[in-house]
Chains A and B, each alone.
Chain A
């Protein structure tokens, strides 16, 4: 007997009783159709988990000032009288504004998102060559730039079957495992530096090394570029060649304010979290016979990129080894901490002409820097100053 999707999803979610679980497990071993269905359902489920984790992370970063709301609420039904603006709550390093599990996911996402700039940045050699990030740098995006990019993108929309652009696949384990410091130390092969002065013990997790490989179908990509109005196209020589970005194993240390226990429930109460992440620089491998400088020129000349951004990108001198972080309305800036160049990432400033909200503290900030070939970062439900303070304890 074959199973319908609903039951297979319940099986994946551990929501079926033991006899059903056992019959499904036995069945999918002998039924190719149900095994395939299970596989597809699992892929669909993973897509949803990955995407919705982003939302959970975003809402976990939001401030929720219960005291202040209570004053308004308890004064009901007369809500016309506004309570006076309260001072933001005293911001201890670990104030209660996040959920542990979610914030860790957020940190992982943030690191992954930053690293995803690597393919754009890295095309640079005539022969197979490996680049490592040696510095971080910001480029500034204005609101007008963002609008222009979004307008250009929507013009080119729908011209192509995007599956035909090429293949992207990932090699390496996905699972993050909890480890001890010495286990982590053995795996990564560089000195792990932990923040000092935080008043809780960290939970250490190891993210195994992963390689993202991609292969372009040049004709299809060029057709897409043309539909975006580009006059430059990729050379035929890169057709079917495999590019890869390797992210070496990384260690995440999570410091969570655990005073409000009840770990079993999905929604415990608010928690504050600081995450320190570190890993060797990602590497980009460009296949033999590819003129990477040419590729870079094509990418930079794409009409989707506004002129002001193009100038900044062209001005990145050591671009083979630079991690570029977009700066939207002051969200990222370059600085020096204890003599080491670093980028501070914080929520963007409000748009001109709008009133900044004073009823919530700044959202999570982070600092990222590169020292001796190791990219390290600190972030969490802390403000910029706190993030820099923590970073200092790691750089020294």
Chain B
């Protein structure tokens, strides 16, 4: 990690400065990365944590030689973020299995999220939570515009296997979600 000289920005706060390009990248891409992770996880806190983790990876990566990373930071960041979200799904599954908690607990919780729950968001998240982590990640990524190659990259699949995984994910999602919808 490079040394970060301390500069005084105003009398209230003292922050270390980092490479201006890194700061620019952060400010430019933070909203996109955050919203992508919020979409994937459905949980604001998880999305905030994983967004910071994503940029930490970039920071660790971004020495002056790694200009390749910074040439298309958006693609790089979204792939890393997707991978972190996928790992989070897997850990979450282990944790839920261990604690035998109902899968509903992964839904966006808390009173502040009541507005989301008013929408179909709750139903969709509930159906997604029943999918295997990889199926869920592939489904979410595909429907946010990722190509098969990008999906393969993010979840560690061969590009040729993405279609099969996606077909299964869409079938299972429809089985669960369709049932919930009809119950309404």
Contacts and interface: CB of A to CB of B under 8 A. Distances in A.
A75 B16 contact: yes
Interface in B14-50: 15-18, 23, 26-32, 34-36, 38-39, 42, 44, 48
Q: How large is the interface on A (under 10, 10 to 19, 20 to 34, 35 or more residues)?
A: 35 or more
Given A47-B170, A48-B174, A64-B34, A56 B120 contact: no
Contacts of A97: 31
A5 interface: yes
A117 to B, nearest CB: 13
A328 B35 contact: no
Given A47-B174, A350-B111, A66 B27 contact: yes
Contacts of B125: 55
Interface string A43-63: 111011101111110111010
Contact of A59 (B23, B35, B146): B35
Given A6-B161, A64-B34, A267-B145, A70 B23 contact: yes
A283 B86 CA distance: 45
Given A15-B163, A51-B124, A56 B115 contact: no
B55 A73 contact: yes
A51 B48 CA distance: 23
B31 A270 contact: yes
A268 B74 CA distance: 8
Chain B interface mostly helix, strand, loop or mixed? helix
Interface in B101-147: 111-112, 114-116, 118-121, 123-125, 127, 139-140, 142-147
B2 to A, nearest CB: 13
A52 to B, nearest CB: 4
A373 interface: no
Interface string B40-73: 0010100010011001000000000000000000
A69 B142 CA distance: 28
Interface residues of B, number: 68
Contact of B35 (A13, A53, A64, A83): A64
A166 to B, nearest CB: 10
Most buried by A among B143, B163, B177: B163
A70 B177 contact: no
Interface in A62-102: 62, 64, 66-67, 69-71, 73-75, 83-84, 96-97, 99
Contacts of B127: 51
Contacts of A363: 115
B115 A6 contact: no
A44 B171 contact: yes
A52 B170 contact: no
B78 interface: yes
B21 to A, nearest CB: 14
A336 interface: no
A41 interface: yes
A113 B118 CA distance: 11
Contact of B32 (A75, A163, A267): A267
Given A15-B163, A71-B13, A64 B114 contact: no
A97 B174 CA distance: 31
Contacts of B147: 15
A74 B124 contact: no
A56 B55 contact: no
B162 A47 contact: no
13 contacts: A7-B163, A10-B166, A15-B148, A43-B174, A47-B170, A52-B139, A58-B121, A59-B39, A74-B17, A99-B35, A165-B182, A326-B118, A350-B111
Interface of A: 4-10, 13, 15, 41, 43-45, 47-49, 51-56, 58-60, 62, 64, 66-67, 69-71, 73-75, 83-84, 96-97, 99, 113, 143, 153, 157, 162-163, 165, 265-270, 326, 328-329, 331, 347-348, 350-351, 354, 357, 363
Given A41-B167, A52-B139, A348-B114, 11 more contacts: A8-B167, A9-B163, A13-B148, A41-B170, A51-B127, A52-B140, A60-B35, A64-B34, A75-B16, A269-B32, A351-B114
For the complex of A and B, the 3 pairs showing the least CB-CB separation, nearest first, are: A266-B145, A6-B164, A66-B30
